[in-house]
Chains A and B, each alone.
Chain A
Amino acid sequence: MTSSKTQAPGPSGAWHIAPLGDRAMIIEFGQRVDPEISARVRAVAQSFMLNPLSGVSDVVPAFTSVALHYRPESFSDGVPYEELRRKVEALLTLGIACQETATRVIEVPVSYGGEFGPDLQEVASLCKLSPHEVITRHAASAHVVYMLGFAPGFPYLGGLDPRLAVPRRATPRPVVPAGSVAIARDQSVIYPLATPGGWNLIGRTPLRLFLPAVQPPCLLQPGDGVRFVPISPEEYRALESRV
C-alpha cells in the first residue's frame, strides 16, 4: 500500500494515490472543494478518457479526485495496482495541462418558488433576503459543474453566490420531484430523477437532464458552465410539454 506525494513541474501541484479496493484507485488532488482543484480534476479525467490506459474501464472525476476502475487481469507483471500506479505517476509527473478553453455554458430554465420551489421562502429568511433577491442572485451566479454523482446525471454545481449559503435540511424529503433545483452550503444541484433528498428546493426546470437511451445520456458534463434563467410557471408548463 504505497502512496506518494510528489511535486509535479508547473502549476499542477501535488497528488496522492491510494487503492479503492482491489479493482480501483483514487488519485486525490487536494482536500477542499474549489474551482482550481476542480479544473485540475477535470483536466486529468479528460486526459485519461481521451487517451485510455490499457485495463482501465471507468474514469470517475469527483470534487477533488479522479478514480480509475481497472481490470487486474490486464496487468501482467507483479501486483496490478503497483503497475497501474507507476504508469499514472509517470503521466502525472510529465504534467497534464489544465485546458479552460471552449467551456460550454448551458442555459437551464427554472420556475422559482411556489409549488416548484417550496423552500424558497425559508431560504430567503435564512439569508435575510427577499425571495426575489434569492432568485436574482441564484440566476446571476456563475455555476460550473464540478461532478456528476449520487444518481444518474445528478450534477453538483459550484459558483453559488456566498450570500445564499444555507445548511442542508434537517430532515431529508423521501421524494424530491425530478427537475428540482436546490441549494445547500456553497453548491447547487438539479435532481434528474425523483429521489430522496435533503437539499433546499428553490425551483424546478422542465429540462430532462438524463435520458438513458441518448448518447451521451446527460445534458450536463463536468466543466460545463450553467446559467439559470428564471421562467414563469406558465412557461414551465409550455416547455415541459415540448421536452
Chain B
Amino acid sequence: MTIEIIKPGALSTLQDLGRVGFQHFGVPVSGVMDEWSHRVANLLVGNPEGEATLEITLMGPSLRFTRPALIAITGADLSPHIGEHPVPQETPVFLRAGSRLDFGQRVAGLRAYLAIHGGFAVATVMNSKATYVRGGFGGLEGRALRKGDVLHIGTGEPERVYSPLAAMLRTGPLPFVALQDPPKSPVAPPAGWPMPVRLIEGQQWHAFSLDAQNALRNAEFRLTPQSDRMGFRFEGPKLLLREPLEMISEAVAFGTIQVPADGCPIVLMADRQTTGGYPKIASVASVDLPVLAQMMPHQGVRFTLISLEQAQQLYLAREQMIAAIAMQVKVLPRR
C-alpha cells in the first residue's frame, strides 16, 4: 500500500509526538505543532497516538491512494475533497483504491493532520519519525514532501477497524464513506475555543517591568510572518526588563516565551532549540498550544495568566478527553 504524491502542498511533513529523550545531545524534539489534532486523528483510525501523521500546512497536497485506506483528517479546514465531494473531517473515512485526495481553500486554521490506519512506514531516527528539516533528518529523507514521492504505509487491517464502513463502501455510490456519528470529545476541539490563550509565569517574570507584565495580560499581540515551526514571533507593546539581566543559557520547552532585547516575545514551538539564553517571561499552557499552532500570520491574540496548578489541572482534564475518545473508538462495532 502506498500513497503517491501528485502535488506536495506548501509544507507537508511527517510528524509524530517528537524525538523524546535526545535533548541532552542538543537534538530538538520536533514533532507535531498541534498535538491535540494529531492524537485525535490517530485514534480515529485505530492507530497508537504516537504514530506519524502528515502535517499539512496552509496549501494541501494531492495524494493518490493505491489501495483501500482508512484515514482521518483533523485540525485546520483546508477543504479536503475527492472529486467534487468534500471529505468530512474529525471522523474516520474509508477510501476506495485509486482515490485521489485534494485540498482546496483554507477555511479555518493553518495546519491539518492526516492519519492513515497502519501508519507511515518510514525509518525512525532517534526513536522518532518526526521530520526535522533544518537538521535534514527524520520523516521522509529529512525533508518536506515533493512531487513524485511515494509514501509506504505500514501493515494494518483497515477492513477490520470499522468493518461496517468497509461494507458500506462496497455497496455505496460515493468514492468514500465516513462514519456518520464520529467519536466525540466531551468538549469542542481546542481550535474552536475562545481566546485568550492561557499563560503561566516564567522564571524571569518578575524581572520584567510592570508595564510589560500588564501589557502581556491585556494587550493584543500579532503573529508576525517571521514565524515558523521553530518559533512564533509576536508584535505588540515592547516587553522590557526592569534592568539589564545577565542570562546563562538553560533548557527551554514547547511554549516557553522568550523575550530578546527588542522586546518582542517569541513563543518556542515544535522545532525549537533545546536551550536558550533570553529571559523567559511566561509559558503557554500546554492545552492552549494547539490554538497557537492554528494561527495565521498577522492574526491577533490575547493572553491571560493562570497558575501552574490550573495549567496542570487543564492538562490532566485534556488527557481524560483523549482517553474518552480512545474508549469510544474501542467500542465501535468491528468484526
A residues whose Cβ falls under 8 Å from a Cβ of B = 1, 18-24, 26, 28, 31-33, 45, 49, 57-65, 67, 69, 72-73, 79-81, 147-154, 156, 193, 210, 212-213, 216-218, 221-222
Contact = CB atoms under 8 A, between A and B. Distances in A.
A62 B247 CA distance: 12
B24 A26 contact: no
Nearest to A73: B319
Q: Which 6 A-B pairs have the closest CB atoms?
A: A67-B251, A21-B283, A149-B275, A148-B26, A212-B137, A22-B311
B251 A148 contact: no
Given A18-B203, A72-B312, A79-B308, A23 B253 contact: yes
Contacts of B22: 58, 217
B25 A20 contact: no
23 contacts: A1-B308, A18-B203, A19-B200, A20-B280, A22-B311, A23-B254, A32-B248, A58-B20, A58-B21, A59-B24, A61-B24, A63-B250, A65-B248, A67-B251, A79-B308, A81-B309, A147-B275, A149-B273, A150-B273, A151-B273, A153-B25, A216-B25, A218-B26
B273 A65 contact: no
A20 B315 contact: no
B26 A153 contact: yes
A212 B20 CA distance: 14
B135 A152 contact: yes
A60 B316 CA distance: 24
A216 B24 CA distance: 11
B27 A217 contact: yes
A45 B261 CA distance: 31
Contacts of B9: none
Interface string B13-31: 0000000111111111100
A134 to B, nearest CB: 25
A152 B256 CA distance: 19
B312 A21 contact: no
Given A69-B20, A212-B27, 10 more contacts: A20-B252, A21-B311, A24-B251, A26-B251, A31-B248, A32-B248, A58-B20, A58-B23, A64-B250, A72-B315
A151 B26 contact: yes
A45 B283 contact: no
By size class, the interface of chain B is: 35 or more
Given A60-B274, A60-B275, A80-B312, A45 B137 contact: no
B171 interface: no
A79 B200 CA distance: 15
B285 interface: yes
A81 B273 CA distance: 23
A33 B308 CA distance: 29
Contact of B200 (A21, A62, A63, A147): A21
A143 B280 CA distance: 30
B24 A152 contact: no
A79 B310 CA distance: 9
A18 B316 CA distance: 20
A63 B248 contact: yes
A58 B31 CA distance: 15
Contacts of B125: 212-213
Contacts of A58: 20-24, 29
A49 B21 CA distance: 10
B2 to A, nearest CB: 24
Q: Which of B138, B142, B200, B248 has the most CB of A within 10 A?
A: B248
B299 interface: no
A61 B274 CA distance: 10
B79 interface: no
B304 interface: no
B151 to A, nearest CB: 20
B201 A26 contact: no
